Copies of this chain bind each other. A is one copy, B any other.
Amino acid sequence: MSTTATPARTEARSKSEQAYEVLKDRITGGDLVAGYRLVLSSIADELGFSVVPVREAIRRLEAEGLVKFERNVGATVAGVDATLYLHTMQTLSVIEGAATALAAPLITAVDIDNARRLNAELRRCLEEFEPQRFTRINNELHAILYGHCPNPHILDLVHRGWNRLNAMRASSFDLVPGRARKSVEEHDQLIALIESRADVHEIEMAARAHRTATLNAYMAQHQQPASAI
């Protein structure tokens, strides 16, 4: 305690980080719709900070692709352009596929159990029609599968991809009607593959295909050509 009253805890995160967390949560949580304009002074006032840390937070969000920043004009929440969605999904298919493959050899029996439990939850969400919950559980399930990836860079890229995707409200499954059910089945196959210690390359391709299938379903519904990889 430096002065007397307030402990001034050294572990307290900086205001830049606080602003970053708040804005990130709002964007990925869907509170801020795409195209929403982020004005530095307004946000600063609301948070009780100065504009400087807010500015830094926004630049950081820009680097992660969650907001678009134009010089001397301002920042807006990144839009959901169809091609942007395509590119994000494609990138994530590659990265998450690799992450899942790298994590597969290190997965434990407990992880497998948890994954199966979550997938059962997903089935229940389907029956009771809880899309919100479905999306959340789906995130957790995949996080288990790629979580042991020993390469922090790749892990970081996966997280960024998921963030961007979550920011695009109507998270994949709302967009394509029949997709969710198939997705759950693919989870079963993928989990079985990992459990059996299959070839890492096979696992990678399965994980990639799982995501690419969602993408293709989306593309088919929106009548656009899908590029193969």
Check: A142 CB closer than 8 A to any chain B CB: no
Within 8 A of B (CB), among A119-159: 150-154, 157
Give CA–CA (A204, B95) in the complex, Å.
14
> Secondary structure of the A side of the interface?
helix
Which of B60, B88, B229 interacts with A153 by CB under 8 Å? B88
Chain B residue numbers with a CB within 8 Å of A98 are 94, 229
Kindly provide the distance from the CB of A103 to the nearest chain B CB, expressed in whole angstroms.
11
B227 x A102 contact (CB < 8 A)? yes
Report the interface size for chain A: residues with CB under 8 A from the other chain. Answer: 31
Q: Which residue of B lies closest to A201 (CB)?
A: B229
Top 6 closest pairs, chain A to chain B, by CB: A63-B63, A94-B98, A91-B153, A87-B151, A87-B153, A91-B154
Residues on A lying within 8 angstroms of B by beta carbon are 14, 52, 55-56, 59-60, 63-65, 71, 87-88, 90-91, 94-95, 98, 101-102, 150-154, 157, 200-201, 204, 227-229
Can you list 19 residue pairs at the A/B interface with Cβ under 8 Å?
A14-B71, A52-B52, A55-B56, A56-B56, A87-B151, A88-B153, A90-B153, A90-B154, A91-B151, A91-B154, A94-B94, A94-B98, A94-B154, A98-B229, A101-B229, A102-B227, A102-B229, A201-B229, A204-B229
